[in-house]
Structure 1
Amino acid sequence: MEVILKEDVNKLGHRGDVVKVAAGYGRNYLLPGKLAIEATPANKAVIEQMKGSAIRKSAKEKAQAEELSATMAQVELEFERKVGENDHLFGSVTSGDIAQQLEAKGFNIDRRKISLEEPLKQLGEFHVPIKLYRDVTTHVKVTIKSDAPEETAAA
């Protein structure tokens, strides 16, 4: 079955692409989810017009993402967590935690765009990648500190 994608679909294609998919995948997922339309001759003519507007929209979104990327590169986040032996955290810092702190600083970023392979479980500084757009990725500096007061060496 041939369909025209109305939105970007992971591992399938981008908005405006004409792709062949299994009939069940198209009928049960793409079409009801409004992610695609059937590739009829009439729809193909309409999609040509949509491609022009999609290119303009894509360029605008990319420019906004690059602007946001430049702003976010300066952002530093700090977390205080309880620490056990060997500076190992009792909890962890997840992409949800990072998204929450970014929102508090005025950046509305979906936690799924934060590319943490696994939660942060050590003290220290980390540079966490955030995918803002297809080709635009920025890094945010995340510092994890102990919530215990610094122990000074008493002589």
Structure 2
Amino acid sequence: MKLILTQQVTGLGEPGDVIEVRDGYGRNYLVPRGFAIQWTRGAEKQIDSIKKARSAREIATVEHAKEIAGQLKALKVNLRTRTGSNGRLFGAVTAADIAAAVQAADGPELDKRRIEIGNPIKTVGTHRVSVRLHPEVSASIDVNVLEG
């Protein structure tokens, strides 16, 4: 199945890339979640607009990505959320919550789609989260989840 990615998918490519995947993966996962659209000659024309939108919000150079990674490394990120009696959260911490907490801690503005949470954050404490700043540069953030 031939698809055009509309969002970055780890291991497949960037928005605007034309990829070839198995039918079930494309039909049951990528297309319903909005990660890709079916490739057609008409959709081929949309690739330029997808790539322009990507370049507008993308960190352009490796040096700029490394600079942002240095800022993130020096940052203390605290996130207050509602908890139960035993320190478990009501729900889980999302990538949007982390992006907002980084910005509240006077950090750089991050796109929530670039934040990768390994295991769902459902407890109070310090958790490590990775951020893909550039295809060649990624950074780690320690997020301290607090009751409150």
Into which bin does the TM-score normalised by the smaller protein fall?
0.5 to 0.7
Computed over aligned residues only, the root mean square deviation of the Cα atoms, in angstroms, reads 3.5
Unaligned runs of 5+ in 2: 1-6, 21-37, 51-59
Q: Which residue of 1 aligns with 2:77?
A: 77
TM-score w.r.t. structure 2 length?
0.62
Q: How much has 1:75 moved relative to structure 2?
A: 1.1
Question: Does the CA-based 8 Å contact 2:128-2:142 persist in structure 1?
Answer: yes
2:118–2:129 Cα contact (<8 Å) kept: no
Instruction: Give the Å deviation of 1:30.
Output: 3.2
- The reply on whether 1:112 has 2:107 as its aligned counterpart is no
- Distance in structure 2 (CA, Å) of the matches to 1:134 and 1:90: 34
Is it true that 1:97 corresponds to 2:97 in the alignment?
Answer: yes
- 1:34 is paired with a residue whose SS is helix
Structure 2 CA distance, aligned partners of 1:64 and 1:31? 30
Instruction: Find the counterpart in structure 2 of residue 41 from structure 1.
Output: none
- Secondary structure at 2:130's aligned position in 1? strand
List per-residue Cα deviations over 1:62-100 (Å, max 9, x = no partner): 111011111211112112222224321124321101111
Task: Determine what percentage of the aligned residue pairs are the same residue.
Answer: 24
Q: Residues of 2 paired with 1:87 and 1:128: CA distance?
A: 20
- On the 8 A contact 1:95/1:119 being kept in 2, the answer is no
In structure 2, the CA distance between the partners of 1:14 and 1:91, relative to structure 1 (3 Å rule), is closer
What number of residue pairs does the alignment pair up?
117
Match status 1:33 vs 2:50: no
Alpha-carbon distance in 2 for matches of 1:92, 1:109? 19
Match of 2:138, SS state, is strand
1:2-151, aligned counterparts within 5 Å? 11=12, 25-34=39-48, 61-104=61-104, 105-117=106-118, 119-147=120-148
Residue 48 of structure 2 aligns to a residue in which SS?
A: coil
8 Å contact from structure 2 (residues 80, 147) kept in 1: yes
For 2:13 and 2:99, the matched residues in 1 are separated by 27
Regions of 4+ moved over 6 Å: none
Q: Quote the Cα distance in structure 1 between the aligned partners of 2:76 and 2:19.
A: 44
Residues 84-130 of structure 1, C-alpha deviation per residue, up to 9 Å, x if partnerless?
24321124321101111222314111000000145411011111100
Q: Which has the greater radius of gyration? A: 1
Residue 54 of structure 1 corresponds to none
Question: TM-score, length-normalised on structure 1?
Answer: 0.60
